[in-house]
Amino acid sequence: MPGETTTDLYEVSMALAYLREGMTQPATFDLIVRDLPEGRGFLVMAGLEQVVDHLTDYRLDSEDLRDFASALGRPPEDLEPLRGLTFTGEVRAVPEGRVVLGGGPVLEVTAPLPVAQLVESYVLNQISHQTTLASKAARCVLAADGHPVVDFSLRRTHGTGAAHHAARAGAITGFAATSNVAAALELGLPAVGTMAHSYIEAIGAEDAAFRAFARAHPGPVTLLVDTYETRQGVHTAARVLRELDIAEGSAIRIDSGDLGDEARHARGILDTYGLNTVRIVASGSLDEYAIDRLVRAGAPIDIYAVGTRVGTSADAPYLDSAYKLVEYDSRPVMKLSARKVTLPGRKQVHRLEGFHDVVALADEPPPASSRPLLHTVIEAGTRTAPPPGLEDLRERCAADLAALPEEARRIIGPVPLSCTTSPRLRELADTVRRNIRDAYLPHASR
């Protein structure tokens, strides 16, 4: 588990300056996604549980102070004002697995200003990364149109922690299993796997390799058929499966070439041997775009195994996310920078039917027939409820994906959905903007 020193240095510098000035009143920060990445019509919220765990355990001790002092090049006693800081605040957030839109807060932190500032980097990291992965994974589930999708990304993600996030994101969004044993055990997921080409190459002959594998693993097996020549490999696998009478529940995997064409030939070969129940697993640079093409073409592929492109969200690897101060000591504040203007005040996001989300002030009456998206997950530094079960997250995500407008669900050319703002919030923004210009920018052009 990352420690309290998992933060950017400027967070420490600001926290020290706040403490020196006696600025310890409550501050509220919004975590927002300004715009959706290109090619995305929606996002899926993820990473919240890691944030809750981190914040409820947060405490700066002597070792943290020594580390901060070393990083700043200052004597340890200079860091004494930070000693014993804990997270005693509140977090309101969109639950994991929920579909979210661009332009609205997905998480709100309210805590004494120094602590709310110190936790920024960790909170942004977890929500941004895991939401990116979950959004990519959800699109794969939509593209597969009911066919199982499994996670094969461990070897190619940007670190083993990222691989765990990818497995968890896949599980939330509806993946059937993962090849990552550690993630499968921790998350309660099925662990799946086949064999590598090196296994075939080490033994030499495909026939001998398949038989040896079946001897080592009684019962259903999945045989990799494209080490040498795919169609010959399918014939060899079919003979072994039939002769050993282990076809029921078994599969073959195709990892290269024109997957649709090879799958059609493989299905014909297997059916010729009477192996109608043997499934075909496809892998090799798959993502939602490739899956969509294969499904639309009617390729007889039963299971899609996704790896590199999904585990790294290769086409959209980051979010335009930000963690911005919106209120300090009951005073609404905002940023006025060009194209990065923020909205002041504590907020709520109200969802109306059809994913018409309205960002409003927290104390506004909700629109009729709406439901709030931000829920309190930490209060007075303590978790408000036990962690939700994975099945609950999967059901929530599946329901939201099913209800999404078709234009946002599209794999090619989706129409991105964005929040709107309430009149009262817009009025407050106008007032705060005028106050800032009058107080701090007296010579700015009007």
- Burial degree of 215 (CB within 10 A; 0-12, 13-18, 19+): exposed
Mean pLDDT of 99-128: 97
Do 259 and 322 belong to one domain? no
Q: Which pLDDT score is estimated for 40?
A: 97
Predicted confidence at residue 1, as pLDDT, reads 52
Which helix (H) or strand (E) covers residue 399, if one does? Answer: helix 390-403
CATH of the domain at 38: 3.20.140.10
Spatial contact of 195 and 221, defined as CB atoms under 8 Å apart: no
In a domain, 435, yes or no: yes
Residues 345 and 361 sit within 8 Å (Cβ to Cβ): yes
Asked whether residue 292 is assigned to any structural domain, the reply reads no
Mean of all residue pLDDT scores within the chain:
96
Asked whether 412 and 292 are in contact (CB, 8 A), the reply is: yes
Tally of domains within the chain? 2
**Residue 301 pLDDT more than 60?**
yes
Q: What is the pLDDT of residues 40-85, one digit of tens each?
A: 999 999 999 999 999 999 999 999 999 999 999 999 999 999 999 9
Quick one: 341 and 412 in the same domain? yes
Helices (H) and strands (E) in the chain, counts: 16, 19
Query: Is the separation of the CB atoms in 13 and 21 below 8 Å?
Result: no
Indicate if the pLDDT at residue 445 is higher than 70: no
* Same domain, residue pair 343 and 273: no
Q: With DSSP H G I counted as helix, E B as strand and the rest as coil, what are the percentages for the chain, rounded to 5?
A: 40, 20, 40
In this predicted structure, what is the pLDDT of residue 444? 61
**Residue carrying the six token digits 């920078």:** 337
| 135 close to 43: Cβ distance less than 8 angstroms | yes
Residue that finishes a domain, picked among 236, 266, 282? 282
Q: How many CA atoms lie within 13 A of 119 on its CB side?
A: 36
Pairing of β 375-379 and β 90-93: antiparallel
Tens-place pLDDT, residues 165-205 = 999 999 999 999 999 999 999 999 999 999 999 999 999 99
Q: What is the largest CA-CA distance in the chain?
A: 88
Q: Which domain holds residue 38?
A: 9-133+316-440
Q: Check which CATH number belongs to the domain holding 239 and give it.
A: 3.20.20.70
Is 172 part of a structural domain of the chain? no
Q: Are residues 335 and 244 in the same domain?
A: no
Q: Is 436 inside a domain boundary?
A: yes
Q: Tell me the per-residue pLDDT of 317-371, one tens digit each, with 9 for 90 and over.
A: 999 999 999 999 999 999 998 888 999 999 999 999 999 999 999 999 999 999 9
Provide the β-strand partners of residue 255.
none
Residue 305 domain-assigned (yes or no): no
